[in-house]
Structure 1
Amino acid sequence: MSGIVTLIGNPRAGSRTHRAALEATEAVARRLGLRNPGETVDLAVLAGEIHAADPSSDLDAALKIVASADVLVVASPTYKGTYTGLLKAFLDLLPSGALRSATALPLLLMGDPRHALAVEVHLRPLLVELGARVPTPGLALLESDLPRLNDVLDRWADRTAPQVEVAA
């Protein structure tokens, strides 16, 4: 396994989702014995490119990084009960089956526990449609969990990493 790619679908740079995604990636990487968690694709930086008539080489590079991932942590805040339109628009640029070599770990950050099923009902099917293996339940991370983020992620990574190892 070469590394983990972190895809962050929050339109705001420096968001809580960004922090949670990177820490989730690091927690899983440690358990998989990876020193370098890998590359990060932050869609806040690419937002203006996604619908551009002539997208930049940065967008093309980001799509290639995501498509070549062995393990892909996909994180988004929950907007209107699902992932962001920015994340969807980016993933729509990938061809069918583009994630067939990836084991994906979906993560949604949400304010209300009533949205907890969104990670399974909305984000998981999108990743599977693109060909990814999603061997574990997605992580529905509540904003109220952020003060104890390391503990939450440690428990999640302990459950997740063995299944990722088998799937990858």
Structure 2
Amino acid sequence: MSSLVVLVGNPRGGSRTHLAAVAAAEAVGRRIGHEAPPEVVDLSAIGPHLFTPGPSPTVEVALELVAGAQVLLVASPTYKATYTGLLKAFLDRLPGGALTETVALPLLVMGSPRHALAVELHLRPVLVELGALVPTPGLALLEAEIPDLDRVLADWTDRVAAQVTAALERSATT
């Protein structure tokens, strides 16, 4: 089955974004028949390496894992009505077209519903620019919904699982 990777753009380790992203990837994975746990690239662990001059083996491994994913769930907290600069710095290291064979699922964790469009207006376009197929609406997850995460993810996966499966099938035949 497809490789399933989670990219977490929160600068703090052990964040609610990390928790929600892994849970969302696992929920989607179960629905598309991918039972193995997702591989996780947590930028809080490699952030300092993103900003040092010269190549970093840690960053290179993370870039290869992300670029090689068949399904990539990209998650960030909402900062200033968009995703984090840490996530942007990482994505800027990917060459154009690096996600061409990838089905990407954007997820933003936010404090206010007024930022709900940020997942579609900011995160989706950068993934598409990198070549990813983004066949579903992103998940705009309110911090207040995290205690009810199982229900939120069940509703979301009900809406997106068929589209992810169809995108994977199209990708496999091209």
Q: Name the TM-score, length of structure 1 as normaliser.
A: 0.98
What is residue 11 of structure 2 aligned with on the other side?
Answer: 11
Contact 2:26 2:38 (C-alpha < 8 Å) held by counterparts: no
The letter of the residue matching 1:24 is: A
The letter of the residue matching 1:162 is: A
Specify which structure has the higher proportion of helix: 2
Structure 1 vs Structure 2 CA RMSD = 0.8
What is residue 106 of structure 1 aligned with on the other side?
Answer: 106
What is residue 116 of structure 2 aligned with on the other side?
Answer: 116
Q: Name the TM-score, length of structure 2 as normaliser.
A: 0.95
Is 1:158 the counterpart of 2:158? The answer is yes
What is residue 51 of structure 1 aligned with on the other side?
Answer: 51
Partner-residue secondary structure (3-state), 2:164? helix
Provide Cα deviations, 1:71-113, integer angstroms capped at 9, x if missing partner: 0000000000000000000000000000001000000000000
d(CA) in 2 for partners of 1:161 and 1:97?
24
What is residue 92 of structure 1 aligned with on the other side?
Answer: 92
5+ unaligned residues in a row in structure 1: which ranges? none
Provide Cα deviations, 1:50-81, integer angstroms capped at 9, x if missing partner: 11113421110000000001000000000000
Q: How does 1:14-29 map to 2 (within 5 A)?
A: 14-29=14-29
Partner-residue secondary structure (3-state), 1:89? helix
5+ unaligned residues in a row in structure 2: which ranges? 169-174
Aligned residues: 168
Contact 2:22 2:38 (C-alpha < 8 Å) held by counterparts: no
d(CA) in 1 for partners of 2:30 and 2:77?
24
The letter of the residue matching 1:104 is: A
- The structural deviation recorded for 1:37 is 3.1
Contact 1:3 1:37 (C-alpha < 8 Å) held by counterparts: no
The letter of the residue matching 2:77 is: P
Partner-residue secondary structure (3-state), 2:122? helix
What is residue 31 of structure 1 aligned with on the other side?
Answer: 31
d(CA) in 2 for partners of 1:99 and 1:37?
21
- The structural deviation recorded for 1:34 is 1.2
d(CA) in 2 for partners of 1:78 and 1:162?
27
The letter of the residue matching 1:36 is: A
Contact 1:97 1:130 (C-alpha < 8 Å) held by counterparts: yes
d(CA) in 2 for partners of 1:35 and 1:148?
22
d(CA) in 2 for partners of 1:51 and 1:126?
20
d(CA) in 2 for partners of 1:94 and 1:160?
26
